[in-house]
Chains A and B, each alone.
Chain A
Amino acid sequence: MLDWLARLGRPVIHLLAALGRSVIFLFQSLAGWPRSYKAVQLWMRQVYSVGVLSLIIILVSGLFIGMVLALQGYTILVDFGAEQALGQMVALSLTRELAPVVAALLFAGRAGSALTAEIGLMKATEQLSSMEMIGVDPLKRIVAPRLLAGFFALPLLSIIFTMIGIGGGWLVGVDWLGVDAGAFWSNMQASVDFQADVLNGFIKSLVFAWVVTWIAVFQGYDLVPTSEGISRATTKTVVYSSLAVLGLDFILTALMFSNL
């Protein structure tokens, strides 16, 4: 009986410990990050590898998601003679939901897993501990630039995703299916509110950026330094951050849009 209770409680205690470690980790790495040109250079290198290199996948999937939305929306709306509302449908669903969520999921798969694997390999090959030996804090040198780069890159990627998606919707709706271009844009402008839709979508992607990057970097830093540990941590990064993004998305949507 006691044994059984202990078995039940162990994962909970492990979970709580990991949660506590991750919060301490976040504060330790971000507190007192030096504001020198060298630090900015480190940060910029990471923005390049998580942001600029993720651009291709964001652009391509944004374009196709916008095109699919327009095609699906058109076939339904045309039954009611309401194909003029296509622009509004594409723009609203992209700004409110699809762009922040899909961009965050893609980011977790493309950049988050890479962050985990990179830091994990550094830990496994004891690069992190040798850094500590020569008096360099790996939290400041390795972790902080990656965290800050992730926080910065994903909101930008998400807004680029929205723009490209609307472009894709325009391409299919107006260029191919022949929805009137004026109605497409004016209905969109009449229904999309800058504060309620665009800004709230942006806030969503800011939150997702924190969560995904935090999970990815922490998983890399906290893993068991073996090849199996790296592979498990990478999987965990993608699974945890996808679940966190989808769960948080529901909460944020309930907070932001439930009274509209």
Chain B
Amino acid sequence: MQNQRRMEVAVGAFMLLGVLALVFMALKVSGLAWETSNKTFQVEAYFGDIGGLKERSKVTLAGVTVGRVARIELDQQWFEARVLLELDESLQGKLSKDTAAAIQTAGLLGDNYISLTPGIEEATLAAGDTLRDTQSALILEDLINQFITRSTQD
């Protein structure tokens, strides 16, 4: 009977250790946060070339992450990329309507992300608005190509 009791305690401790490990993996290793359903609002932007931008890429303002790319699709009429941005709800009514969006690269070979630059207009962005002032991704190969063709022309 004593033996049975010790075994039960050991098995219980084993299970507890397993659950603890799972919690550790969730919180400390994968950085799973509880408030994943943060309130957001969506705006859209059209780009001529999104380069390596992916869904869930980050959107920054002054280098601070303020949102994510929610969806990327092809605009069938103008053959441009239509990018839906999910921005933090606290920014609603604060960003001016002529906010510019540019696709940039983190470091030389890093991931693409969207960087916002606030404008000067009085009117502010609301959900569903379109960002007019956009700048496509800088593609390194294109730059090199241009450089080579220009230097061979001389």
List residues of A whose CB falls within 8 A of some B CB: 41, 44-45, 47-48, 51-52, 55, 91, 95, 153, 155-157, 159-160, 162-163, 166, 185, 188-190, 192-194, 197-198, 202
**Smallest CB–CB gap between A88 and chain B, Å?**
10
- Which residue of chain A is the closest to B13 with respect to CB atoms? A52
- Which residue of chain B is the closest to A190 with respect to CB atoms? B31
**Smallest CB–CB gap between A205 and chain B, Å?**
11
Q: Does B61 touch A at the CB level, under 8 Å?
A: no
In the bound complex, CA of A159 to CA of B29 (Å): 12
Q: Does B4 touch A at the CB level, under 8 Å?
A: yes
Contact A192 B15 (CB under 8 A): no
Task: Given the known inter-chain contacts A95-B29, A190-B31, A193-B30, please indicate yes or no for A159 contacting B22, CB distance below 8 A.
Answer: yes
- Which residue of chain A is the closest to B8 with respect to CB atoms? A44
The interface residues of chain A lying within 8 Å CB-to-CB of B11 are 44, 47-48, 51-52
Report B1-35 CB contacts with A as 1/0, cut-off 8 Å: 00010011011011101101110111011111000
The interface residues of chain A lying within 8 Å CB-to-CB of B13 are 52
List residues of B whose CB falls within 8 A of some A CB: 4, 7-8, 10-11, 13-15, 17-18, 20-22, 24-26, 28-32
In the bound complex, CA of A44 to CA of B14 (Å): 11
How many residue pairs link A and B with beta carbons under 8 A? The number is 67
**Smallest CB–CB gap between B112 and chain A, Å?**
15
Which of B7, B13, B14: most chain A Cβ within 10 A? B14
Contact A159 B15 (CB under 8 A): no
> 4 shortest A-B CB distances, which residue pairs?
A189-B31, A156-B18, A194-B30, A163-B21
Task: Given the known inter-chain contacts A41-B4, A194-B32, A198-B30, please indicate yes or no for A163 contacting B14, CB distance below 8 A.
Answer: no
